[in-house]
Amino acid sequence: MRIATGARLPAGAERVIRDEEIVADGPVLRCADPRRNDVRPMGSAWPSGATLAAAGTAIDPALVSLATAAGVAAVSARGPVRIRLHTSGDEVGAAGRTGLPETAWGPVAALFEAAGCAVPRGPHLPDAPASFRAALLPDGADVVAIIGATGRGAADRLRDALDGVGATLPVDGVDVRPGGSLLVATVPDGPIVLGLGGNPMAAVLGAALLATPLRAALLREAPRAVELLPLADANPDDRWRMLPVEPDGAGRWRLPATVATPHLRDAVGRRAIALVPPLARPGDLAERLA
């Protein structure tokens, strides 16, 4: 009897032989190999009760497909991490010669979104204590991220606002540049607060550094190995650097010669962001952050 691939086994049949394995001998169909059998018994892919993905596995399209194949109609999941993202500073977005165009929210949001986070836009925060105090109020966001105001300048109200709500700062600056001026604070009964350096490149690189570990910690994901990129160029700097990088087409990754922080010129078209060790030489490895 002829059946289509994937059809149910007809009642009484014992074997399924592929069309190309069959030799027709008049009305009789013969199979050269007597062991050949293409029946796929129900439940043969994995034993009943098997764990198909460990707890803490990130949900990706393959996992959704696998759950569907296994007849699993619902899974319980954590996330996505909700990051309310604000810009700050009186000069940012202001009209006239003192104003600067706002150029950091979009790329920072894109980075957090690429890491699987939901990124609602918070209001722009003028340099006034009340605006920063309001931003720290809980509203269901897991994280409040603020671009700018990490510094200790007269206009930087974030630290005062954090003091006012009794926040602690587990991270207050990271020895890496650019973008090392970032801070991470926890507010009692409130959100986690990220302060990202205000220069757009600093904000983007700081977000790249924090996005994946933050998501992994908040969602209690199973730890995963980092991705390492072999470098095509040296890092002459004796400090850690975060840099937009691009493949050289021969298995290594090129570093930009310079990185300006007030704009993203040196990030345009770059396929990854790497954390490059001090004095790295060509062939050394750098962690891929994004």
Ligand X SMILES: Nc1nc2c(c(=O)[nH]1)N[C@H]1C(S)=C(S)[C@@H](COP(=O)(O)OP(=O)(O)OC[C@H]3O[C@@H](n4cnc5c(N)ncnc54)[C@H](O)[C@@H]3O)O[C@H]1N2
Residues that bind ligand MOO (CB under 6 A): 177-181, 197, 199, 202, 261
Which CB sits closer to ligand X, 89 or 122?
A: 89
- Which of ligand X, ligand MOO, none does residue 156 bind (CB under 5 to 8 Å by kind)? ligand X
Centre a 10 Å sphere on the Cβ of residue 48 and count the other Cβ atoms it contains: 5
* Distance separating alpha carbons of residues 264 and 199, to the nearest angstrom: 9
Which CB sits closer to ligand MOO, 80 or 178?
A: 178
Residue among 205, 210, 163 at smallest CA distance from 184: 210
* Distance separating alpha carbons of residues 180 and 197, to the nearest angstrom: 8
Residues 6+ apart with CB under 8 A from 254: 232, 233, 245, 246, 247, 248
Which contiguous run of DSSP H or E holds residue 183?
strand 183-186
| Residue the block writes with tokens 């836009």 | 121
- Which of ligand X, ligand MOO, none does residue 103 bind (CB under 5 to 8 Å by kind)? ligand X
CB of residue 211 vs ligand MOO: minimum separation in angstroms?
Answer: 16
Which CB sits closer to ligand X, 104 or 231?
A: 104
CB of residue 140 vs ligand X: minimum separation in angstroms?
Answer: 24
Which CB sits closer to ligand X, 181 or 235?
A: 181
Which residue(s) pair with 28 in the sheet? Answer: 25
Here the tokens at position 65 are 């497909």
Direct distance between the N- and C-terminal alpha carbons of the chain, in angstroms, rounded to an integer: 55
Which CB sits closer to ligand X, 147 or 231?
A: 147
- Which of ligand X, ligand MOO, none does residue 180 bind (CB under 5 to 8 Å by kind)? ligand MOO
- Which of ligand MOO, ligand X, none does residue 212 bind (CB under 5 to 8 Å by kind)? none
CB of residue 190 vs ligand MOO: minimum separation in angstroms?
Answer: 25
- Which of ligand X, ligand MOO, none does residue 246 bind (CB under 5 to 8 Å by kind)? none
CB of residue 261 vs ligand MOO: minimum separation in angstroms?
Answer: 4
- Which of ligand MOO, ligand X, none does residue 132 bind (CB under 5 to 8 Å by kind)? none
8 Å CB contact between 144 and 132 = no
8 Å CB contact between 231 and 287 = no
Residue among 114, 143, 87, 144 at smallest CA distance from 289: 114
Which CB sits closer to ligand MOO, 89 or 178?
A: 178
List interacting residues with ligand X (CB under 6 A): 87, 89, 91-92, 100, 102-105, 147-151, 153, 156, 181, 197-200, 202
